[in-house]
A and B are shown apart, each in its own frame.
Chain A
Amino acid sequence: MSAPARVLDSGAQFSATPVTDTPARGLLALYVGITAIVLALLMVFGLLMRASQAGFVSIPPNRFYQLLTAHGIGMVAIAGLGGAAVMWYFLSRYVSLSRGILLANLAFFLLGVVLVLGSIFIGGFAAGWTFLFPLPAQSLGTWGAGAAATYLVGVLLVGVGFLLLFLDTTRAIIGKYGSLGKALGWPQAFGNSTAEPPPPTVVASTVASIINIPAIAVGAVILTITLVKALSP
């Protein structure tokens, strides 16, 4: 006789604690507010580029490619910031996350954004958000090594902030559930466990943490190699 199938639907009940402490709520509100403002700014950049292509406004190539670079890197980064706020809000109902790390991530992010915007609109850096090696270091004299290095360090700082955040989510998840496999519900999915599986929020956050930590680490290696190339071509 086979065991009855486990059915999980949207009505499944999990023990969850709403985020009630004011500092965390304030920080998350700041995350969302910054996300909205930056998103609106980057949409304006996008519209400017489209208006230029349509011939409605005249933007010289160097300024166009600066907008292209800022729009691309900004959209990726701000999607990360907004997404992190959503994930933190829901995950913190199930595990104990660090408010200090949440604040540190925002600080790294804002510092990185200042450097990135400065490198682009003051330094003239315009290698595109993909900064495909070795373009940042070989601009044919259109931007300097200092601008390239400032951009790369800025992106690196944003990455450091997110790395801290996802290390903290991983720490908290393992602390509560014992292992990443258990947090993914593998004992229930592939084993004989009949215990209540982790809530979907925890499973999704575990997947995000597992993917993001190595992805950020690889990104940091690429940024560092490009930085070395820019400073000593």
Chain B
Amino acid sequence: MRGRWCLGGVTKTPYTSSGASAVVVDVKGHQWNWEISAPAIAVGQLVEIRVTGADVNHGFGLYDANARLIAQTQAMPRYTNVIRHTFTAPGTYRVLCLEYCGLGHHTMFGQLVVTERGGAQ
């Protein structure tokens, strides 16, 4: 709602709620790993990814199997950024850090697994 207010009533953005119930994924960036809750995610399901940082600023970058960036936001301490996304293909999606966060920055890998409707990957 706040996002909609800030954008002056623009509704077709990734920041507005569709009204549908979403699967919530909690993501917390640490020096130097991702803490990601792992609910079952299926293709076509609205997913709400809540991203925050435990210590310093990190960058949550979500990549598909072709190493193409499909979503990103800052992982900031004491603040939660929300991404709403609907996956269109099953598979293992990699999470990399996009904000330099110290000497282990390049070792921050995580993943989200998305299955076909009904459970098969």
Please tell me if B79 contacts chain A, counting CB pairs below 8 Å: no
| Contacts between chains A and B (CB distance < 8 A), count | 41
**Nearest-Cβ distance from residue B101 to partner chain A, whole angstroms:** 6
CB proximity to A under 8 Å, residues B62-121: 77, 99-106
Per a CB cutoff under 8 Å, which of B31, B57, B77, B106 touches A140? B31
Please tell me if B55 contacts chain A, counting CB pairs below 8 Å: yes
Contacting pair B102 A132 (CB below 8 A)? no
Does more than half of chain B's interface fall in helix, strand or loop, or is it mixed? loop
Please tell me if A144 contacts chain B, counting CB pairs below 8 Å: no
Interface residues on A, range: 10 to 19
Please tell me if B24 contacts chain A, counting CB pairs below 8 Å: no
- B side interface size, CB within 8 A: 14
Contacting pair B103 A135 (CB below 8 A)? no
List 14 other contacts, CB 8 Å, given A127-B100, A132-B99.
Answer: A61-B103, A62-B103, A65-B100, A65-B103, A126-B102, A128-B100, A132-B56, A132-B57, A134-B56, A134-B77, A135-B56, A135-B100, A139-B103, A140-B104
- 22 interchain pairs, CB-CB under 8 A: A61-B104, A65-B100, A65-B102, A68-B100, A126-B102, A127-B100, A128-B100, A132-B56, A132-B99, A133-B57, A134-B56, A134-B77, A135-B57, A135-B100, A135-B101, A138-B31, A138-B56, A138-B102, A139-B102, A139-B103, A142-B102, A142-B103
